[in-house]
Each structure stands twice: as structure tokens, then as C-alpha cells.
């Protein structure tokens, strides 16, 4: 029996509690503790990924209640990968925040960060749709706090919009879950998969509404048009380390769509796929277009980066919309790439803001700043990654997606959209980069020392911040260099994803379930036969 699956969720929660309880006045302690904890989480996540790579789907029955009656955590290749990605990103972001003193500019940064990690991990690991909602809320509310960390008028107003929009999203999530539960009578994803596939024709309309509502919920998180409106202001105004962490948040939406619409509402259910796939593809094409046009139409690096995120999510969903193994593999690769690149881009933007007085990331020409060359190089790398230029992973990812959609209907349109928007993005990045990094004023031109308060730009501790940024870059490079092994892992992941009977069996009947049936009998006054009997009854009911 192994309890490691739950560690990525419980460990951050406990760490956050300890930070709040005993070290809320000591930032240095918080940093050490937070970084050490995340390192441990990475180690655990890596172990889980190795475990998952054997292809065995591991199931953890919380409270020792068998699925579908209790909540289960499910570790498969996909969730293991996302967990590891999250852990790595969180560590990098925390290091950056510590290196730039971002964590000192408000209260509870590290605790919120840990809670945020907990929420994201939970969302990736859970095998229960309502529990998914709960973890969405955990990650959202932590993100609200992080988004408005350090305050500031503009940030608070943007934060208010972010919260309001997501409250609407959470409401919608519950509507979707209500509809799905009302139709199927279950919340467990594997059980849902079984029940939805056997749904009588008379309930198809209801389950379709549930599926579409759920899709829109995840689409909000994933910033799919026309539900993306929360993103530009949020990303442009949030503290940079937070935005960098948010790189994984859009992916939570993508992950959820991938999970739910392969497992529960799989592509083999024409009644649902006929609605979902065109919606998704249409939205994705508009998303990438509007995102990349936004890259060109921005006047601030922060906003540019935000729209670049939207564009990259469009790319993700173009890949995802057709639900074939090839496209899904390509999409997964692109998700990995996009997470790291987005984070890098935002850290770079922050480095610029920090060095240009008054947090200005606008395109107006300002005096050159410290370490401009190095930061320009980082920005350049992030930009080519985001725009999908070689030699970084964005290019590889884009090629994978282009190639994988080639056999599908509408490939010509998809290709045209992806390529044309790439060009728009290239031009946009070139404009922004050249305006900020090249078009600098001579310092004496704008020297108005009276107006520039010394404390406005605290001297950042460079080492840690650059370490964080360069480790993201290193990640991108590794992802590119080892694209072969990575894609073969991802192919296997996709294989597992489309082999949904494997998931269903593992959760509902599988031998891998920790503790197994034997454990159940050991409950207080519980009784093995009864519990087992229930399961059996249930199974026979589904049989007819």
C-alpha cells in the first residue's frame, strides 16, 4: 500500500498551515520552508511519475470507501505528468518570488502559494467530478489572494473582475454537476464513464446539456473564447511570479477537458462528441486568432504576454478538439511547452517592470536598464518559444499539431489559421521586444531624478531570480532536445487515455486499488460482506 499519491495534496496543505501558524512573521523562514517543501513535492511527484510510467493506473480510495461511493484519487500517466509539471513550476516561481522580494510585498504569499499548489494537485489527481470542483475552488481562491498580492489600485480592480468572472464560472460548474448528477446519479468519473455510455436515449438531452456546461466551465479556466475575458487584465496586472504560476492554471482547464471528454464523454459517444468537437474547434480557432491579434495589438509587455497565453491556449485546443491519439499527443507536448514558456515570458516581463521605474512595461521608450542584455536574451527566447519559432519547443509542438491534424477534415483551414496567426505573433513580439529592449532613450534625456523615488525600484537579488528564469529556459531546451523520449511518454499517455476501460476497471474493480476490499471490512462496525455486496449489486444493475 502506498500513500504517496496523496502527498502532493496533503503536504502543501500542511506546510501552508505550519507557515500560517508558526512563521507568519518570518519571511526568511517561510522561504526556506516553502522551497524545501516544494523540493520534497518534486521528489514525490517524480517518484509518482516513474511509478505511473509502468502503465499501471493506481487508485487511492479516500476514507477507504470503495469507488464510486467515496472519493478516489487516480494516478495515471497524465495526472503524474501534470503533477510533476506543477511541482517544478511552483518551485521555480517560489524561488523567483524569493529572489525578487515579491513575497515580502504583501502577507501570506508562501501560504497562499502552497495552498495554490495543493488545489492544482488535487485537480489533477482526483477521480471525482465534485471533488474536482472543490479543488478548483481551492486553487481559485488561492489564486485570488495571489492575484491581488501586494495590492495596488489597478491590481485590485483587475482582481475584482477576475474574482467576479470566476464566481460566475464556479456557479456554472455547479449547474453542470447538478445536471450530470441528476441524470446519472453518480459523481465518480469512472462510474460516470460507465453510466454515460449506457444512458437511455430519453436522457441524452440532459446529459448533453451537462456535458456542454462542463465544457464551458473548463473553457473558462482554459481561456477559450468567448469565455477568456478574465485573462488579459488578470495576467497583465497580477504579480509576475503569480502569473508565471498561472501558466499551469489555464492548463488545469485543458487537463479537465481532456480528462472528462476522453473518459466520461469520450469521442466514441457520437451524441456528445457531435456537439462538443465542433464547439471546441470553432472556439479554438477564434481563440488563437484573437490571442495572436492581441499580441500584435498590445502596447504593454504584460498585455502582450497575456494575449500570447490566449493564443497558446487556442493552439492547445485546436489540437485537443479532434480527440485522436495523434492530436492528443501533440497537444500534451504543447501543454508542457506552453506552461514553461508562458512562465518564462512572464518572469521576463517582470524583470523589465522591476527595472523600469514605476512598473512600466509599456512600449514608450525609456532609458536602458540594468542587465538589459541578459533580460533581452531571455525575452527573445521566451518570445520565440511562444511564437513557435525554432529551435525551441514551441516550434516542435506546433509542427506536431500541424502534422497530427493533417488527416482530419478542415485541416487546410486549421493550418492556415495556425500559420497566419504565428506570423502575427512574430510581428507582435518583434514590435514589443524592439520597442522595449532596443528603442531605449539615452538616460540623460529622461533623467528626472526628482520624480523617481528610490524605493520604487528595490534592488532585486539577482541570483535567485535569474536562476529561476534560466531554469525555465533550461526546461524548454530539455523539452526540445529530448522531444523524442518525451513524445513517446506522451504517446503512451494518450494510449492510456483512450483506453478508458483500463481506467474504469482500475477504479471500479481494479486490483491496484490501495487497500483493496479487505481493508473495508476493518472499519469500526463496518462489515466487509455488506460493502462488497453493495458493490456487486451495483455492478449487476449496470449490467442490464
Partner 1 sequence: MELLLASAIGVLTAGGIYLVLRLRSFPVILGVSLLSYAVNLFLFASGRLVVNMPPILSDDAAGYTDPLPQALVLTAIVISFGMSAVVVMLALGAYLSSRTDEIDIDDPDPIPEAEPGAVE
Partner 2 sequence: MDTGGNFLPIIAALPFVGALIPGVMIRAGRTACATYTFMASALAFILLMLSAPAVFRGEVLQFQLEWLPMLGLNVNFMLDGLGLLFAGLILGIGMLIILYARFYLSREDPMGQFYTYLLLFQGAMVGIVLSDNILLLLVFWELTSLSSFLLIGYWKHLPEGRQGARMALTVTGLGGLAMIAGMLILGSIVGSYDLSVILQHKELIQASPYYLPALILILAGCFTKSAQFPFHFWLPHAMAAPTPVSAYLHSATMVKAGLFLMARMWPVLSGTPEWFYIVATTGLITMVLGAVIALFKDDLKALLAFSTVSHLGLITMLLGFGTEAAAIVAVFHILNHATFKAALFMSAGIVDHETHTRDIKRLGGLRHLMPVTFVIVTIAALSMAGIPPLNGFLSKEMMLEEASHTAWLSNPWILPALATLGALFSVAYSFRLVAHVFLGPKRDDYPAKPHDPAFGMWASPAFLVVLVVLIGLMPNLIAGPLVDITAAAVTGGHPHAHISHWHGLVPAFWMSVAAILGGALFLSLHGALERGWNAAPRPEAKVIFDAITRASTRASHWLTDTLHNGSITRYGAIFAAAITAAGLFAWFESPMSAPTREMLPINAIMAIGWVLLVISTGCIIAFHRNRILSLVLLGVIGLAVSMAFVYFSAPDLALTQISVEVVTIILLLLALNFLPGRTPVESGMPRRLRDAVIAGAAGLAVGGLTYAILLRDFAAESISAYHLANSYKGGGGKNVVNVILVDFRGFDTFGEIIVLGIAALVIYALTKSVLRGPGGRWLLNWGPDDDEAGDRHPLMMVVVTRVIMPIALMVGAYIFLRGHNAPGGGFIAGLIVAIALLMQYMASGFAWAEERQRYHYHAMIAAGVMTAAVTGMGSWLAGRQFLTSSYGYIHIPPIEEFEWATAMAFDTGVFITVVGAVMLALHSLSSMSRRTGEQVNIHPMDVDPGRGAAPADGKEA
Site for partner 1 in 350-379 (CB under 8 A): 362-365
Contact between 13 and partner 2 by CB under 8 A: the answer reads yes
Contacting partner 2 within 232-261 (CB under 8 A): 232-233
Least separation in angstroms between CB 226 and partner 1: 15
Q: Report the C-alpha gap between 247 and 335 in whole angstroms.
A: 10
* Rounded (5°) CA angle 457-461-467: 125
Residue from 43, 50, 167, 413 in contact with partner 1 (CB under 8 A): 167
CB 133 within 8 A of CB 173: yes
Enter the C-alpha cell of residue 417: 489559421
Which of the choices partner 2, partner 1, none does residue 167 contact, using the CB cut-off of 5 to 8 A by kind?
Answer: partner 1
Where does this chain touch partner 1 (CB under 8 A) — which range of 171-179, 247-255, 400-408, 485-493? 171-179
Closest CA to 117 of 254, 255, 249, 306: 249
Enter the C-alpha cell of residue 188: 465518480
Q: Report the C-alpha gap between 166 and 160 in whole angstroms.
A: 10
202 vs 449, beta carbon nearer partner 2: 202
Residue from 89, 384, 436, 473 in contact with partner 2 (CB under 8 A): 384
Enter the C-alpha cell of residue 375: 533580460
Contact between 406 and partner 2 by CB under 8 A: the answer reads yes
Enter the C-alpha cell of residue 184: 446519472
Where does this chain touch partner 1 (CB under 8 A) — which range of 254-262, 296-304, 311-319, 444-452? 296-304
Where does this chain touch partner 2 (CB under 8 A) — which range of 45-53, 156-164, 255-263, 495-503? 156-164
Contacting partner 1 within 422-451 (CB under 8 A): 431, 434-435, 439
Q: What is the DSSP string of 360-422?
A: --BSS--B--TTHHHHHHHHHHHHHHHHT-TTSHHHHHHHHHHHHHTTSTTHHHHHHHHHHHH
Which of the choices partner 2, partner 1, none does residue 108 contact, using the CB cut-off of 5 to 8 A by kind?
Answer: partner 2
**Binding residue count for partner 2, defined by CB under 8 A:** 152
Least separation in angstroms between CB 24 and partner 2: 6
| Half-sphere exposure of residue 332: CA atoms within 13 angstroms, side-chain side | 28
Which of the choices partner 2, partner 1, none does residue 452 contact, using the CB cut-off of 5 to 8 A by kind?
Answer: none
Q: Report the C-alpha gap between 452 and 437 in whole angstroms.
A: 20
**What string of H, E and C letters represents the secondary structure of 57-105?**
CEEEEHHHCCCCCCCEEEECHHHHHHHHHHHHHHHHHHHHHHHHCHHHC
- What does the binding site for partner 1 look like in residue numbers (CB under 8 A)? 130, 134, 137, 141, 144-145, 148, 151-154, 156-161, 163-164, 167-168, 170-171, 174-175, 177-179, 181-182, 187, 232-233, 236, 298-300, 303, 362-365, 431, 434-435, 439
Amino acid at each position: 500500500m502506498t500513500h504517496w499519491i496523496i502527498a502532493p495534496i496533503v503536504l502543501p496543505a500542511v506546510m501552508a498551515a505550519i507557515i500560517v501558524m508558526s512563521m507568519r512573521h518570518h519571511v526568511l523562514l517561510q522561504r526556506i520552508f516553502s522551497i524545501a517543501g516544494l523540493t520534497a513535492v518534486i521528489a514525490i511527484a517524480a517518484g509518482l511519475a516513474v511509478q505511473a510510467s509502468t502503465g499501471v493506473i493506481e487508485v487511492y480510495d479516500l476514507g477507504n470507501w470503495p469507488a464510486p461511493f467515496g472519493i478516489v484519487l487516480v494516478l495515471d500517466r497524465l495526472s503524474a505528468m501534470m503533477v510533476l509539471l506543477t511541482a517544478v513550476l511552483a518551485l521555480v516561481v517560489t524561488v523567483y518570488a524569493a529572489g525578487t522580494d515579491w513575497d515580502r510585498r504583501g502577507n501570506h504569499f508562501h501560504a497562499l502559494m502552497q495552498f495554490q499548489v495543493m488545489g492544482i494537485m488535487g485537480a489533477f489527481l482526483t477521480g471525482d467530478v465534485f471533488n474536482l470542483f472543490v479543488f478548483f475552488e481551492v486553487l481559485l481562491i488561492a489564486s485570488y489572494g495571489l492575484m491581488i498580492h501586494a495590492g495596488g489600485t489597478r491590481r485590485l480592480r483587475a482582481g475584482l473582475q477576475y474574482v467576479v468572472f470566476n464566481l460566475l464560472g464556479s456557479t456554472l460548474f455547479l449547474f453542470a454537476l447538478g445536471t450530470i448528477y441528476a441524470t446519472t446519479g453518480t459523481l465518480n468519473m469512472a462510474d460516470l464513464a460507465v453510466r454515460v455510455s449506457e444512458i437511455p436515449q430519453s436522457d441524452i438531452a440532459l446529459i448533453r446539456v451537462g456535458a456542454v456546461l462542463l465544457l464551458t466551465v473548463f473553457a473558462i479556466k482554459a481561456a477559450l473564447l468567448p469565455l477568456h475575458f478574465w485573462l488579459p487584465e488578470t495576467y497583465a496586472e497580477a504579480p509576475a511570479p503569480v502569473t508565471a504560476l498561472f501558466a499551469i492554471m489555464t492548463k488545469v482547464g485543458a487537463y479537465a477537458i481532456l480528462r472528462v471528454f476522453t473518459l466520461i464523454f469520450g469521442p466514441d459517444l457520437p451524441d456528445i462528441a457531435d456537439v462538443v468537437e465542433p464547439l471546441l474547434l470553432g472556439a479554438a480557432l477564434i481563440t488563437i486568432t484573437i490571442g495572436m491579434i492581441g499580441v500584435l495589438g498590445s502596447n504593454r509587455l504584460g498585455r502582450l504576454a497575456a494575449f500570447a497565453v490566449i493564443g497558446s491556449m487556442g493552439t492547445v485546443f485546436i489540437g485537443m478538439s479532434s480527440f485522436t491519439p495523434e492530436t492528443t499527443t501533440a497537444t500534451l507536448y504543447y501543454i508542457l511547452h506552453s506552461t514553461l514558456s508562458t512562465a518564462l515570458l512572464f518572469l521576463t516581463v517582470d524583470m523589465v517592470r522591476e527595472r523600469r521605474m514605476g512598473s512600466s512595461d509599456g512600449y514608450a521608450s525609456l532609458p536602458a536598464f540594468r542587465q538589459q542584455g541578459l533580460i533581452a536574451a531571455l525575452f527573445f527566447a521566451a518570445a520565440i518559444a511562444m511564437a513557435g519559432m525554432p529551435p525551441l519547443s514551441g516550434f516542435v509542438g506546433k509542427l506536431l499539431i500541424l502534422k497530427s491534424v493533417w488527416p482530419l477534415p478542415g485541416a487546410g483551414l486549421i493550418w492556415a489559421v495556425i500559420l497566419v496567426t504565428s506570423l502575427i505573433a512574430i510581428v507582435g513580439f518583434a514590435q514589443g521586444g524592439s520597442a522595449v529592449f532596443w528603442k531605449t532613450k539615452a538616460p540623460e534625456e529622461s533623467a528626472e531624478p526628482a520624480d523617481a523615488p528610490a524605493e520604487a525600484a528595490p534592488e532585486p537579488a539577482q541570483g535567485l531570480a535569474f536562476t529561476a528564469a534560466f531554469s525555465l529556459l533550461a526546461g524548454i531546451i530539455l523539452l526540445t532536445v529530448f522531444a523524442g523520449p518525451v513524445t513517446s511518454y506522451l504517446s503512451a499517455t494518450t494510449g492510456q487515455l483512450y483506453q478508458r476501460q483500463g481506467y474504469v476497471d482500475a477504479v471500479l474493480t481494479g486490483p491496484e486499488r490501495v487497500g483493496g476490499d479487505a481493508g473495508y471490512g476493518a472499519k469500526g462496525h463496518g462489515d466487509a460482506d455488506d460493502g462488497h455486496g453493495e458493490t456487486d449489486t451495483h455492478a449487476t444493475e449496470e449490467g442490464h
